């Protein structure tokens, strides 16, 4: 006998992934924008999507082609539940193709809502796998967006086969400035430009930077974090896909950012900052740089670095 709520509403936040040298392994939740999914029980068996708002009519209503629908189905399968009906409403608060984990937020919200709807047979950590199934259909089998979207904070994904991840502590008071140009970029396109071979010295430097970044997080050393977040492989390969990318990075660092880089597959960009005043100046500088260098409008927001993941509304 399946118990649970008749209707559940869950919000999942935007995420910044590929943090510095942590390509496909480091992601973090941010505060502000996100997706909301409403799930309700129906008499008709299976998962269906009743409506999508905020996507401009571009996302599929077919549950088998939408990350929310796929995640909901995979959640029921992981829980071993059959013969029930789930209807979803998706309210998109994230722009598509922004590099802020839009598909992951929908998947995380749908998985958590579906699990709550049927009595929470799965722990929150166990919902990462159904979300990963959904992400695999859209942008590849990586969990650096879905894991923080569900669990919050910064997550290091050691492996997806088998699933193995851990939460990384963040220095107190650390902030992010995030700027999103009004452009859309495909994750698949951004992955196609990545090099198949990486120079040995670049691999060594990126490995050293990643180790330094993790050490800074566990020690709470903000200054050390600024020294350990450089990436000369993925960021360099993708910079040409984002108009004004290099100018935005220079503007952010000149305004006081500890570091600035591409969020996920882009075109959003993020910067670590040590104070709210600094973050405000950096956010303004990033927006201005997009306009002056890339000739595109951009929007920015500021978020604490350590933020909660998916939650009921």
Residues 224-282 have pLDDT tens digits of: 888 777 888 998 899 999 999 999 999 999 999 999 999 999 999 999 999 999 999 99
Residue 161, both tokens: 């086969």
pLDDT digit string, tens, across residues 18-62: 998 999 999 999 999 999 999 999 999 999 999 999 999 999 999
Q: Are 99 and 37 in contact (CB under 8 A)?
A: no
135 is catalytic: yes
Buried b / exposed e over 214-229, threshold 16 CB at 10 Å, is bebbeeeebebbbebb
| pLDDT at residue 3 is higher than 60 | no
Helix axes 67-79, 128-138, angle to 10 degrees: 140
3-state secondary structure (DSSP) of residue 48? strand
Domains of the chain (ranges; CATH) run 7-168 (3.30.230.10), 175-304 (3.30.70.890)
pLDDT digit string, tens, across residues 115-146: 999 999 999 999 999 999 999 887 778 899 99
Q: Are 26 and 272 in contact (CB under 8 A)?
A: no
Helices first, then strands: H and E counts in the chain: 10, 11
CB atoms within 10 A of CB 295: 10
Catalytic residue among 75, 180, 187, 235: 187
| Rg, C-alpha atoms of the chain | 19
Percent of the chain past pLDDT 70, that is, above it, reads 98
Whole-number average pLDDT of the chain? 93
Catalytic residue among 87, 89, 129, 135: 135
Give the C-alpha separation, 7 to 4, whole Å: 9
């Amino acid at each position: 006998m399946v118990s649970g709520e008749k209707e559940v509403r869950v919000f999942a936040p935007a995420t910044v992934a590929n943090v510095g040298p942590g390509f496909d392994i480091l992601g973090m939740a941010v505060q502000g924008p996100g997706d909301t999914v409403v799930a309700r029980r129906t008499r008709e068996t299976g998962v269906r999507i009743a409506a999508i708002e905020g996507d401009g009519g571009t996302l599929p209503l077919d549950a088998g082609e939408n990350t929310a629908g796929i995640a909901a189905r995979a959640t029921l399968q992981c829980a071993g539940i059959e013969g029930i009906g789930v209807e979803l409403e998706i309210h998109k608060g994230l722009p598509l193709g922004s590099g802020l984990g839009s598909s992951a937020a929908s998947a995380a919200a749908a998985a958590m809502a579906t699990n709550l709807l049927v009595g929470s047979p799965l722990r929150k950590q166990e919902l990462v796998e159904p979300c990963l199934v959904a992400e695999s259909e859209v942008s590849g089998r990586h969990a650096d967006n879905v894991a923080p979207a569900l669990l919050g904070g910064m997550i290091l994904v050691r492996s997806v086969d088998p699933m193995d991840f851990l939460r990384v502590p963040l220095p107190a008071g650390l902030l992010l400035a995030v700027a999103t140009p009004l452009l859309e970029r495909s994750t698949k396109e951004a992955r196609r430009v990545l090099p198949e071979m990486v120079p040995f010295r670049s691999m060594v430097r990126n490995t050293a930077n990643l180790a330094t970044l993790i050490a800074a997080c566990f020690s709470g050393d903000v200054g050390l974090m600024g020294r350990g977040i450089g990436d000369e492989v993925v960021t360099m390969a993708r910079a040409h896909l984002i108009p004004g990318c290099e100018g935005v990075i220079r503007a952010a660092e000149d305004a006081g950012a500890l570091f600035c880089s591409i969020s996920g597959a882009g075109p959003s960009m993020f910067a670590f900052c040590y104070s709210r005043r600094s973050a405000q100046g950096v956010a303004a500088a990033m927006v201005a740089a997009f306009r002056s260098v890339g000739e595109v409008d951009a929007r920015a927001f500021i978020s604490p670095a350590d933020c909660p993941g998916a939650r009921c509304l």
